[in-house]
Amino acid sequence: MDLIYSKAMESIWATLKSNAYRRSVGLLIAVLALILFSSASAQKPTITGISHVTLYADNIAQSRQFYGELLGWEPVPANGDHGLRFYPNHSQYVELLPPPTTGQAHRVDLVAFSTSDAEGLRRLLASKGVAVPSSITVDRDGSRSFLVHDPEDNPVAFMQQGRSMPAPLPAALARRLSTHIMHAGYLVHDRAALDHFYKDTLGFHLYWQGGAKVGDVDWVMMQVPGGTDWIEYMLNLPANPSRAQLASANHIAPGVVSVATLQQRLEQSGWKSPIGRDPQVLGVDGKLQLDLHDPDGTRIEFMEFTPVKSPCCSPYTGVQPTPSTAW
């Protein structure tokens, strides 16, 4: 019996030492590593789009007329009751606050992005050397957020949505000129520094870039890693831009299917196009747009979701946005 046992053990040991077994074990280890990596990747916090943009408004009542009546976005009191929020869909909004100084040239307070996990993202950014707050902020609606600053000291927020906004009445929904804020842009001086922040640290990717003249790069679109929205660097402004130049550079872009239809709806509301000028403009990015300006001069760049011709300067490298189906 001892001899049989000894022979059996020798056979098992020889099998364990065989190349076939080592290959099997190696394959098993590789599969387990892939499963663990996939699980970790699935749990990595994702930035999914534009959450909101906070703007300064000298006259909230006039701005309410613009965003609520003309654009048809749902007005809701802001947290703290010091301003108003205007929702084109259940999760995106423009927030208006009184400025620190009435009449100041800079009208953008911050740009905020949606994330699937605010606390996870806060920890991730801290591990990458970004200065983050010691904890997240929880709003009255359960939203979880935190604030950082980009390399040029612009505030950038990240928000994990809490309770969704209840749907307005169908008649109110039908008045919306756009259901999706697809990008926001602001003045940038140092592209390399912003690329390190948005691309290397946050995982954004180049969506398109181009300029007013062949060979120039005046506009750089960086798309979020988990969606179709983007941030736009507005480059090459004068060293001391005027309020009008800042108001044009620092903008938001609601998406529309057709700017021709948009113009018809605006005119039905009493809006008049500029005399002697077609308000519909074909951008060098191949998309049609129509610009409005709110009462404080901030540009609202209505833009078609899809290009009508090939863009100049560089190709698109991401998925095109679409109307929001929320609500």
Is residue 306 scored above 90 in pLDDT? yes
Structural domain includes residue 22: no
Q: What is the pLDDT of residue 81?
A: 57
Confidence of residue 165 (pLDDT cuts 50, 70, 90): confident
Nearest-angstrom CA–CA distance, 91 and 87: 7
Residue 101 falls inside a structural domain: yes
pLDDT at 35: 38
Helix (H) or strand (E) holding 260: helix 259-268
70 in any annotated domain: yes
pLDDT for 18 equals 53
Buried/exposed code over 203-234 (b: 16+ C-beta within 10 A; e: otherwise): ebebbbbbbeeeeeebbbbbbbebbbbbbbbb
Consecutive H or E run containing 5: helix 2-17
Query: Is 4 contained in some domain?
Result: no
Position 241 in a domain: yes
Nearest Cα neighbor of 112 from 81, 80, 85, 141 is 85
The predicted structure's pLDDT at residue 3: 42
Tell me the residue type at 115.
T
Domain containing 74 — which CATH number? Answer: 3.10.180.10
In a domain, residue 78? The reply is yes
User: Is the model's pLDDT at 318 over the cut of 60?
Assistant: yes
| 288/1 Cα distance (integer angstroms) | 88
Structure tokens at 27: 């394959």
Distance (Å) of CA 104 to CA 57, 98, 140, 319: 10, 11, 30, 37
Across the chain, mean pLDDT equals: 89
**How many domains in the chain?**
1
Q: Does position 40 have pLDDT exceeding 60, yes or no?
A: no
Supply the pTM of this predicted model: 0.86
Residue 39: inside a domain: no
49-92 pLDDT per residue, tens: 999 999 999 999 999 999 999 999 999 998 765 789 999 999 99
pLDDT-above-70 percentage for the chain: 86
Share of the chain residues as helix, strand and coil, in percent rounded to the nearest 5: 30, 25, 45
Token code pair at residue 75: 């007005």
Q: Which of 60, 46, 132 is nearest to 96 (CA)?
A: 60
Domain annotation covers residue 166: yes
From residue 142, alpha-carbon distances to 135, 139, 165 in Å are 15, 5, 12
Domain residues for the domain of 266 are: 47-304
Q: Which residue has the higher pLDDT, 172 or 39?
A: 172
Say how far apart CA 85 and CA 51 lie, in whole Å. Answer: 12
